[in-house]
């Protein structure tokens, strides 16, 4: 049995994962390291941007807070809110002004333009910008004055957007918060996080933002926004050892930020269009393989219309999620693959609108994470040019090339992250060869049958005993081999 089990002689560590990730970056045309030119430019930056301009408003008095992952240090956005008459809400969203320190065409910008995104693997993060910027000088850090692009939005009591505007401002983060702790408080399962409790009025503001987000969410679902549940477990380290793999859970605080950012991205897109400029849009086209999606629904005894219809698809997904939560991540994956991935396109005023099929919104751009995504930095520069009455920093032809390049590199980054999740799982399981697990059949291809075990959450191949099994079947399996270098995990039926 052990002929193909390469790990009997060598136990892998975090450093192996770093090495595997670094070579995966190279293979996909991504730069794992910064150049000497970047280091030189970085050394010349003495501190955060102190630019002063009559057009930059001072909003440091607002109750700004950041909500992100427990370990996130690259803080791209802050939110603040206050009640309006008749039950409405005013929301401010501040996005880090990365362009204030990273100018177009500079060495740091060229690196960001090459990779177009930060790549997150458990063993090592490959940031798009040097960490001295992304986690400090251009990050909206606690108790620091920072420049930002602010989108100000007024919503009525039923969460209809009444008006919005964009401007430059100086902001100061009053509370650095994390998703899980805020969510536990919203759900009544834990106390208000200390960082929020230290700021009078922060609790009321968070309740306001949560309520607005849930209303926005319901509205999008009514329009046909698709709710997926994808399988993206992350390895947990203790020093050099992988001790666990955990699946990230969707929760109220994540939904709060997600909804507010979708609203912000829509306002940004419409603002640029209203000024007559081109914008870099994030789209998911109406699926070309819709009839394949119809056939999938048919297998569950459901009939979908012959033309792409996101409302009908959302109703089908919601029903399946209710009926069979265990297998829902796998159905999600099938539908996501058939829909095709998101891409960046240039939209010009008067041109044909494409929209975002999965989010059920027509105007969508990526603008809220300029520390970790290049399209957001491009959008920020387009906005700043409009605000300053200057010509756009990119020609339409240049934007077109960048849109294709960003789509390509983002797909490469996702492949690196997926590849590393496999190696992380193989590393965790390499000392468990011979153990038995409950599993579910997740895929059947010409290459063979694929299964997922539940604890720890990991995917692998069934190398024997697959006869007569079909997708969705529950099965007992035994782990027979792992290969950390290639990310292979092999099971047989037990």
Between 355 and 89, where is the model more confident?
A: 89
**Do 73 and 13 share a domain, yes or no?**
no
Please indicate, yes or no, whether residues 124 and 169 belong to a single structural domain of this protein: yes
Maximum mean pLDDT: which of 154-163, 281-290, 334-343: 154-163
Least confident of 109-123, 200-214, 265-279, 354-368: 354-368
User: Tell me, what's the pLDDT at 370?
Assistant: 96
For the segment 250-268, the average pLDDT, to the nearest whole number, is 93
In terms of domains, do 22 and 170 share one?
no
Determine the structural domain holding residue 491 and report its residue range: 1-30+414-494
pLDDT at 79: 98
Number of Cβ within 10 Å of residue 175's Cβ equals 23
Indicate whether 409 belongs to any domain: no
Q: Which is it for the CA torsion 392, 90, 138, 22, positive or negative? A: negative
pLDDT digits (tens, 9 = 90+) for 439-472: 988 888 888 899 999 888 889 999 988 888 887 8
Instruction: For 131-160, write each residue's pLDDT tens digit.
Output: 999 999 999 999 999 999 999 999 999 999
- Predicted confidence (pLDDT) at residue 390 exceeds the cutoff of 70: yes
Helix (H) or strand (E) holding 172: strand 161-172
- Percentage of the chain with pLDDT > 70? 96
Work out the average pLDDT over 70-83. Answer: 93
Do residues 47 and 188 both lie within one domain? yes
Domain annotation covers residue 307? yes
The pLDDT value recorded for residue 2 is: 42
Q: CA triplet 434, 439, 440: central angle to 5 degrees?
A: 150
Sheet of strand 175-178: strand arrangement: 57-58, 161-172, 145-155, 89-96, 77-83, 65-68, 175-178
Closest CA to 257 of 213, 203, 216: 213
Q: Is residue 77 part of a domain?
A: yes
**Residues 4-61: pLDDT tens digits?**
444 445 688 889 999 999 999 999 999 999 999 999 999 999 999 999 899 999 999 9
Q: Are residues 370 and 439 in the same domain?
A: no
pLDDT category of residue 307 using cuts at 50, 70 and 90: confident
Among 70-84, 169-183, 287-301, which stretch is predicted with the lowest mean pLDDT?
287-301
Q: Which residue has the tokens 């698709």?
A: 226
Q: For residue 208, what are the contacts with CB-CB under 8 A and spacing of at least 6? A: 81, 82, 83, 89
Whether residue 399 is contained in a domain is answered as no
331-357 average pLDDT score:
78
Instruction: Tell me: pLDDT of 3 over 50.
Output: no
Kindly state whether residues 128 and 180 are assigned to the same domain.
yes
For residue 114, the model assigns a pLDDT of 98
- Please tell me whether residues 178 and 271 are part of one structural domain: yes
Predicted pLDDT of residue 211: 97
pTM of the model: 0.90
At 325 the pLDDT is 81
Decide if 233 is inside a domain: yes
- On whether residue 408 sits in a domain, the answer given is no
- Regarding whether 491 and 386 lie in a shared domain, the answer is no
- Predicted confidence at residue 12, as pLDDT, reads 85
- Categorize the per-residue pLDDT at 228 as very low, low, confident or very high, splitting at 50, 70 and 90: low
pLDDT at site 395: 94
The H or E element containing residue 430 is none
- By the 10 Å C-beta count (0-12 exposed, 13-18 middle, 19+ buried), 110 is classed as middle
Number of domains observed in the structure of the chain:
3
Please give the average per-residue pLDDT across 90-118, as a whole number. 98
At residue 142, the pLDDT reads: 97
Q: What is the DSSP string of 315-372?
A: HHHHHHHHH-TTTHHHHHHHHHHHH---EEEEE-TTSPP--BTTTTBS--B--S-TTT
- Could you say which of 331, 364, 394 is where a domain stops? 394
Q: If you ran DSSP here, which 8-state letter would residue 87 be given?
A: G
Residue 232 has pLDDT above 90, yes or no: no
Residues 191 and 74 both lie in one domain: yes
Domain shared by 109 and 227, yes or no: yes
Tell me the average pLDDT of the chain.
90
pLDDT > 90: percent of the chain: 64
Distance separating alpha carbons of residues 222 and 60, to the nearest angstrom: 37
CATH assignment at residue 446: 2.40.50.140
Q: Are residues 186 and 305 in the same domain?
A: no
Rounded distance between C-alpha atoms, residue 280 and residue 282, angstroms: 7
Would you say residue 405 lies in a domain?
no
Asked whether residue 148 is domain-assigned, the answer is yes
Higher per-residue pLDDT: 37 or 223: 37
Same domain? 469 vs 445: yes
């Amino acid at each position: 049995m052990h002929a193909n089990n390469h790990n009997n002689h060598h136990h892998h560590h975090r450093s192996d994962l770093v090495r595997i990730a670094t070579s995966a970056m190279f293979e996909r045309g991504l730069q794992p390291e910064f150049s000497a030119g970047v280091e030189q430019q970085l050394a010349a930056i003495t501190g955060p941007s102190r630019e002063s301009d009559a057009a930059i408003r001072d909003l440091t008095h607002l109750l700004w807070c950041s909500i992100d992952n427990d370990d996130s240090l690259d803080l791209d956005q802050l939110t603040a809110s206050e009640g309006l008459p008749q039950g409405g809400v005013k929301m401010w969203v501040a996005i880090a002004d990365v362009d204030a320190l990273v100018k177009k065409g500079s060495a740091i910008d060229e690196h960001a333009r090459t990779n177009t995104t930060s790549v997150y693997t458990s063993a090592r993060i490959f940031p798009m910008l040097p960490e001295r910027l992304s986690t400090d000088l251009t990050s909206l850090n606690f108790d620091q004055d920072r420049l930002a692009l602010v989108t100000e939005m007024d919503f009525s009591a039923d969460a209809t957007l009444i008006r919005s505007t964009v401007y430059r401002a100086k902001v100061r983060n009053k509370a650095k918060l994390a998703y899980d702790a805020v969510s536990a408080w919203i759900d009544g399962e834990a106390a208000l996080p200390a960082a929020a409790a230290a700021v009078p009025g922060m609790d009321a503001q968070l309740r306001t933002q949560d309520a607005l987000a849930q209303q926005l969410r319901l509205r999008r679902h009514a329009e046909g926004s698709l709710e997926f549940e994808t399988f993206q477990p992350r390895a947990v380290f203790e020093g050099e050892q992988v001790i666990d793999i955990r699946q990230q859970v969707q929760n109220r605080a994540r939904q709060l930020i997600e909804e507010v950012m979708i609203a912000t991205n829509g306002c940004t897109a419409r603002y640029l269009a209203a000024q007559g400029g081109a914008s870099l849009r994030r789209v998911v086209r109406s699926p070309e393989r819709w009839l394949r999606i119809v056939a999938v629904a048919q297998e569950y005894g459901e009939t979908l219309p012959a033309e792409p219809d996101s409302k009908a698809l959302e109703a089908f997904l919601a029903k399946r999620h209710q009926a069979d939560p265990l297998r829902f991540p796998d159905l999600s994956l099938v539908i996501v693959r058939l829909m095709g991935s998101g891409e960046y396109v240039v939209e010009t005023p008067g041109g044909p609108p494409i929209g975002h099929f999965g989010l059920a919104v027509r105007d969508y751009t990526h603008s809220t994470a300029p520390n970790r995504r290049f399209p957001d930095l491009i959008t920020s520069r387009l906005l700043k040019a409009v605000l300053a009455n200057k010509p756009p920093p990119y020609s339409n032809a240049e934007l077109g090339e960048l849109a294709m390049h960003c789509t390509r590199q983002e797909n490469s980054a996702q492949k690196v992250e997926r590849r590393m999740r496999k190696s992380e799982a193989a590393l965790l399981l390499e000392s468990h060869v011979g153990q038995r697990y409950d599993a579910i059949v997740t895929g059947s291809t010409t290459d063979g049958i694929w299964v997922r075990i539940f604890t720890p959450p990991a995917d692998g191949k069934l190398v024997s005993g697959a006869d007569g099994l079909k997708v969705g079947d529950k099965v007992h399996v035994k782990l027979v081999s792992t290969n950390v270098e290639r990310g292979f995990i092999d099971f047989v039926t037990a």
